[in-house]
Amino acid sequence: METYLPNADKLTKYLFFTGKGGVGKTSIACATAVLLADSEYGRTVDGVVYR
- Per-residue pLDDT for the chain (51 aa), expressed as one digit of tens each? 777 776 676 666 788 999 999 999 999 999 988 887 777 666 666 666 555
Q: What share of the chain is helix, strand, coil (3-state, %, to 5)?
A: 40, 10, 55
pLDDT value of position 18: 95
CA–CA separation, 43 and 51 (whole Å): 8
CA–CA separation, 31 and 1 (whole Å): 17
CA–CA separation, 16 and 38 (whole Å): 20
Q: What is the pTM of this model?
A: 0.58
pLDDT value of position 48: 61
SS3 17: coil
pLDDT value of position 23: 95
